[in-house]
Structure 1
Amino acid sequence: METVTYTGDDDDTIIVVEEQKEGDHLAEVQREARKRADSILGKLTSSMTYKLADRPPWYSTIVLAFQHFLTMFGGCLAIPFVLGPALCIEGKVILLSKLLATICFLSGIQTFIMTTFGVRLPIVQGPSFAFVVPLISMMNVREACPAGGDNSTNVEDNAEFYSRMQETQGALIVSSFFEIVLGFTGIISILMKYIGPLTIAPTVTLIGLSLTPVATEKCSVHWGIATFTMALIILCSQYIDRLKVPCLGFSKSNGCHVFRYPLFRLFPIFIAAVLSWLLCFILTITDVFPNDPSSPNYRVRTDANSEGVANTPWFYFPYPGQWGAPSFSAGGVFGMSAAVLASIVESIGDYYACAKLSGAPNPPDHALNRGIGIEGIGGFLAGLWGACVSATSYSTNIGMIGLTKVSSLLVIQVMSTFLVMMGILLKFGAVFATIPEPIIGGIIAVSVGMVTSVGISNLQYVDINSPRNLFIVGFSLLLGTSLPDYMSKNPHAIQTGSATVDQIFAVLLGTSMFIGGLTGFILDNTIPGTPAERGIGKMLSMYSSSKNDDDNDDAIGDDNELKTEVSRLVNQCYELPYGMSYIRTWAWTSRLPFCPTFSGLDCNCKPKDQLWRRKPRETDGTDTKEK
């Protein structure tokens, strides 16, 4: 080190020497922290072909992005058909295609915002089935849909659809604001301490079970085609999913070569839909299906809605208020708010799963809070545009990251542009809107089965042999099934004297996931049970943002300054893409739950103690607990 000579007062000389020592120590800490952080990240990303910040070649990026697009498009496609009868647009190709275009357009915007400013993981945002159940409950309170002609463009004929959509928009806007508050204030990280598997399991399970009548109605148009579609999906996804198709490829290193592609594992729904559609086309041109519109099997023909496709314009740009000004109802707001809670729980689990498959460290609290807040903003935009449901993370696309070993954010951001383009090219949406109903029914049936099984899988964390847990699960599912069924048959059973209160109770009591989830939450938090029996401790240990530090304490040692720097470098992927130099210099940002410098919140319910308390930045390892 170069010797610095300073002439002046002795006190000034001492200050300069101390500053030099402090600077040398800081540089040494940064070098050591970088070395250890690189070692930790190297272990996490050792199996990844392209990591989060990598930029694959443009041709690979396009192919990988299109692959993600095909994987999630089935979810976008199913929502309009599921909600068509409730929104009074069943069989109206133009309105269905516009709704599909709006959903795709908003999903693209939400995906781009989430990957850029949200949780900063390669997570695809798509329409959530959690919002379908309360929306159908909202519509059941209203009068039946008026009889009208298919493919009508007359405003008066479609007035009921506009009215229903406006009510849906208002409920979605208010409930999304509720999600924004939960995320950006950090409250959700505290609530998760009381929401355990016995609350999550009946909530998600009932989402699937409540959609069974929708799948049955679509399949009943022609059970043969529906069964053929389901059989193809099961064949591709379960039996021949490991069979890889030989394909020709080219690279600079290997030139022209043959590689094997897991086609059936990645696109089971797409393959089944195309083959079933082709079968319906063959049976249509050979007049196996009747050409009489009054026949039940007429809806299986591929040309049943050809006039609607011809009348649909090529381009359409979704815009806010396209269905009219939002209207607000108390029942709709409460019902959608229940869906928000279910969506939040699902998304948090997906964040951790995505981080694990992407070779990233577990997301810290600020990333979780920001992700939920951004999902709320996405729902707010969906309410303004009229996408009828909010978005959530798609687990199928997360699973694809594990298959392809590509977690690049750029790939997902390019995929989001595909969704936006799909929303603008209305003619393509109209073509997909003409898919025969039995094919849609088969796709919905398999999708609903997967949603139901995901809910049941949450019971892996609890002691399933415990009579306490068996009672909570069974009673929650029973009440969540029977009470909404009663309300659907008796929509005017609630008579309190106030129309607003009647609507609130009618929607909430008709929403199965709300009844089942609330019942499970109350019973799980009031009936005595050990932490191991309840499964909350096991679930939180898997979904703990502090697990990164715990796993590497032995390697880092007891130097708190070094620990802090290593933690910052390891979690650097969760920092915002812009403005970090300013955020680190502003001390007040450590109090914002969505900022990367956030120091944490804690909820302590002990008497004579503060409810909100900041976690200390650093500890010296000694026990400072009050005695």
Structure 2
Amino acid sequence: MISGNDSCELSYLPPDMNEQVDGHPKEEDGSISVPKDKNKPLYRVTDVPPWYLCIFFAFQHYLTAFGGMIVTPVILAEGLCLQHDSLTQSHLINTVFLVSGLSTVLQVTFGVRLPIIQGSSFALLLPALAFLSTPEWKCPDWTHNASLVNTSSPLFIEVWQTRLRTLQGSIMLASILQILVGFSGLIGFLMRFIGPLTIAPTVCLIGLSLYDTAGHKAGSHWGISAMTTALIILFSQYLRFIPVPLPTCSTNKRLRTSRFYVFQSMPILLGILISWLVCYILTISDILPSNPAQYGYLARTDVKGNVMNGTSWFTVPYPGQWGMPIVNVASVLGIISGIICSMTESVGDYYSCAKLAGAAPPPNHAINRGIGIEGLCSLLAGAFGTGNGMTSFSENVAALGMTKVCSRGVILLSGIFLILTGILGKIGVIFTTMPAPVLGGMFLIMFGIIAATGISTLQSTDMNSSRTIFIFGFSIFSALSIPNWIIKNPDFIKTGVTMLDRVLSILLATPMFVGGFLGFFLDNTIPGTRHERGLLAWESKHPEDLKDTLEDEDLYDLPFGITSILSSQSWVRYIPFLPRKKNTALFKSEDRDLSQSHVTEPLGKETGVMDKFTLYGLN
């Protein structure tokens, strides 16, 4: 950015903080002295960082989402009988990346319009595996023996493609339910009954229920995973306010420096790259064991080297690439149960994302549109044949809280990176060499933050109330106990209807569903005041902050001036996913200094993520 009239100094500061008129004095070296708020976003949702920083930030989100995107197809591969077909697995991963990128672009542009990356849904993975584990769909014994598998034989191709096409048809039909729930406004209507005591256990359990996945990855080499975790903690917590001086240019050819807070903005990227480099050095030095049976082998970077050699540079996934989708009623019902959990999880992610980004809570029309777009994206994922649906990625929402970079322009660029990865096969395969313990170390941080973010939603409730403590505690503990018992006793539920047994087993084995349902039911049936439930804080705002709220809520409007065009139409109020015209005449234009909206409060003030709203109970 240009700082002053005589230099082209590069300053890593939010968009409106680089000018003298902002009231921040310049230092003798030409940099701008700005007090640092430890919680306020460096870039808000509608801000766009400089292009060179956008690339770094987008790549960081790309790497954060990468682990979750490759885990689901790899886990699903065993159920599809593809555990010994690395090339098909690689093509399946490329398809996931392409669809995730397209879905992210759609969601940021026309959906909820928050900085949320879309990716494979873990909520749909469980019912898919449950369906593929039934006796009639189990893989033939010969597919478990690598020496008997001929990946080019018509028999083998028919085995895995039949299973994948069945999942395709089930996902496409089940996603229609999500489309209807979103665009019909039903999810917005249900939000009247969904408060903090529903959102908190649902979001919290997203992180808590993944402890086994994080532990499994980290346990492949505890030393590497501990190093990754320690580096991310070091950068994001201890070094986040230590600037790194960078040389800058000046028209008078004087040497200047600017302050770049690299540790605060890119802690995950730095932690992953350093650990990855260490694993590479240990691999080429043969310090890590080369025997797959030895502990620490998964820390090597050449574990999947054969996939790199057999993958072409360009791959173009397309709808129907595996053949015509097949419809199976039992599979459809199971996937629908996953869709219900996915929708609840996504609504929680919307609120968490808005909170971490310092934005106004998403209005009903944005939630309706976001869920509807996710349904369309799941339909797209089914058509392409990813074997899974699309949902909001909670780990990337958590990354917003760590980096304080909440620009949806950054997420849009991440979506473009994902699309390119899906098309450029070699680039996607390069990142499959990321060692499992590096992913595990990152998961320990990310999933913990997700769980804590869910708990923080309770700040708007009365935490001194025994009602609040009972509902949250019972919901969380039951959601951990019941699924664990159901998984260990899969044949316990016997209603006489096989499909109903399967659906109930899947639902009761999903912690997010159990916790969210109990929280929803108890919160709406146990007598309690609106203050106890946290609804007053969710619905009320300080009068002096009303004009800022109007400005913030504009970020949920449709792009390209569509909202302005439709606002004059009377029929818009009957469409639940379209924003309605706002009465901005309450405020005089001279009272709204939008250019100063980011720096009106002292940045050194110790506040919550956003202290404008009582919505989150942080002020």
With the shorter chain as reference, the TM-score category is 0.7 to 0.9
Give SS of 2:180's match: helix
Task: Provide the C-alpha distance between the structure 1 equivalents of 2:276 and 2:403, rounded to a whole number of angstroms.
Answer: 29
Partner of 2:566: 583
Q: Deviations over 1:546-575 (max 9, x none)?
A: x8998259xxxxxxxxxxxx9799849714
SS at match of 1:194: coil
Q: Secondary structure, in 3 states, of the residue corresponding to 1:248? A: strand
SS in 2 for 1:69: helix
Partner deviation per Cα, 1:566-586 (whole Å, 9 max, x = no partner):
979984971442666763564
For 1:392, the equivalent position in structure 2 comes to: 392
Q: Which amino acid aligns with 1:79?
A: M
* Larger-Rg structure: 1
The question of whether the paired residues in 2 share the 8 Å contact of 1:184 and 1:373 is answered with yes
Q: Give the counterpart letter for 2:64 in structure 1.
A: G
Q: TM-score, normalised by structure 2?
A: 0.74
8 Å contact from structure 2 (residues 42, 405) kept in 1: no
Aligned match of 1:237: 236
After superposition, give the CA deviation of every residue in 1:355-397 in whole Å (9 maximum; x if it has no partner).
745xxx7655434432332232222222222342413264256
Counterpart in the other structure of 2:60? 70
Instruction: Tell me which of 95, 102, 106 is aligned to 1:102.
Output: 95
Q: CA–CA distance in 1 between the matches of 2:245 and 2:378?
A: 42
C-alpha separation between the residues in 2 aligned to 1:460 and 1:54? Answer: 28
| Equivalent residue, structure 2, for 1:349 | 351
In structure 2, C-alpha distance between the alignment counterparts of 1:478 and 1:52, rounded to whole Å? 35
Flag the 1:533–1:113 CA change in 2: closer, same or farther, 3 A. Answer: same
* Preserved CA contact (<8 Å) 2:99 2:419: yes
Q: Which residue pairs with 2:312 in the alignment?
A: 313
**Quick one: structure 1 residues 326 and 257, their matched pair in 2 at CA, closer, same or farther if it must change by over 3 Å?**
farther
* Equivalent residues in 2 for 1:34-183, closer than 5 Å: 60-61=50-51, 63-81=53-71, 84-88=74-78, 93-120=86-113, 123-127=116-120, 131=124, 147-149=144-146, 153-154=151-152, 162=161, 165-183=164-182
Structure 2 SS opposite 1:595:
coil
> Helix, strand or coil for the counterpart of 1:470?
helix
More off after superposition, 93-102 vs 494-503 = 93-102
2:557 is the alignment partner of 1:574: yes
Q: What is the CA–CA distance in structure 1 between the aligned matches of 2:104 and 2:475, rounded to whole Å?
A: 34
C-alpha distance in 2, partners of 1:311/1:595? 47
- Which residue does the alignment assign to 1:291? 290
Residue 620 of structure 1 is matched in structure 2 by none
Q: Does 1:593 align with 2:576?
A: yes
Distance 1:280 1:572 in 2: 42
Q: Which residue of 2 aligns with 1:184?
A: 183
The residue that corresponds to 1:15 in the other structure is none
CA distance 1:140–1:441, change in 2 (3 Å): farther
Describe how 1:411-450 pairs up with structure 2 within 5 A.
Answer: 412-450=411-449
**Contact 1:52–1:573, Cα closer than 8 Å, also in 2:** no
Q: How much does 1:316 deviate? A: 1.1
Residues 83 and 132 in structure 1, CA contact (< 8 A), matched pair in contact too: no
Please tell me whether the aligned partners of residues 201 and 475 of structure 2 are also in contact (alpha carbons under 8 angstroms): yes
Amino acid at match of 1:332: G
Q: CA deviation at 1:459?
A: 1.9
Residue identity (%): 36
2:225 counterpart letter in structure 1: A
Instruction: Tell me the distance in 2 between the aligned counterparts of 1:412 and 1:458.
Output: 24
The letter for the 2-side match of 1:118 is G
Kept in 1, the 8 Å contact 2:308–2:430? The answer is yes
Return closer, same or farther for 1:73/1:100 CA change in 2, 3 Å cut-off.
Answer: farther
Residue in structure 2 matched with residue 369 of structure 1 by the alignment = 368
Alignment of 1:500-539 (within 5 A): 500-539=499-538
Moved over 6 A (4+): 47-56, 142-145, 251-256, 547-550, 566-570
Q: Deviations over 1:469-519 (max 9, x none)?
A: 222222222221222112222222222333212211121121111111111
- Calculate the aligned-residue CA RMSD, in Å: 3.8
Q: Equivalents in 1 of 2:517, 2:66: separation in Å?
A: 28
Q: Residues 241 and 186 from structure 1, CA distance in 2 versus in 1: closer, same or farther, beyond 3 angstroms?
A: same
In structure 2, the CA distance between the partners of 1:592 and 1:453, relative to structure 1 (3 Å rule), is: same
Corresponding residue number in structure 1 for 2:599: none
> CA 1:330–1:91 in 2, change beyond 3 Å: closer, same or farther?
same
Cα pair 1:354 1:398 within 8 Å, conserved? yes
Letter in 1 for 2:468: N
Instruction: Look up the SS of the partner of 1:391 in the other structure.
Output: strand
Structure 1 residue runs without a partner (length 5+): 1-41, 554-565, 601-627
Amino acid at match of 1:81: V
Instruction: Report the more deviating stretch, 236-245 or 120-129.
Output: 120-129
Asked whether the 8 Å contact 2:68–2:120 carries over to 1, the reply is: no
Check whether the contact 1:123–1:397 (CA below 8 A) recurs between aligned residues: no
Instruction: Assess if the C-alpha contact under 8 Å between 2:225 and 2:437 holds in 1.
Output: yes
Once residues 437 and 148 of structure 1 are traced to their aligned partners in structure 2, the CA distance between those partners, rounded to angstroms, is 24
Q: How has the CA–CA distance of structure 1 residues 141 and 251 changed in structure 2, closer, same or farther, with 3 Å as cutoff?
A: farther
TM-score (norm 1): 0.73
Contact residue 347 and residue 367 of structure 2 kept, 8 A: no
Separation in structure 2 between the aligned mates of residue 575 and residue 549 of structure 1, nearest angstrom: 27
Match of 2:336 among 328, 334, 337: 334
Question: Relative to 1, partners in 2 of residues 1:416 and 1:577: Cα closer, same or farther, differing over 3 Å?
Answer: same
SS at match of 1:432: helix
Specify the SS of the correspondent of 1:496: coil
1:320 & 1:437 partners in 2: Cα distance? 31
The CA deviation at 1:77 is 2.7
Can you list the C-alpha shifts for 1:69-98, whole angstroms capped at 9, x where unaligned? Answer: 322432233332255234415686534433
The verdict on how the C-alpha distance between 1:104 and 1:462 changes in structure 2, with shifts beyond 3 A counting, is same
Shift of the alpha carbon at 1:191?
1.0
Corresponding residue for 1:11? none
| Paired residues of 2:200 and 2:456 also in contact (CA < 8 A) | yes
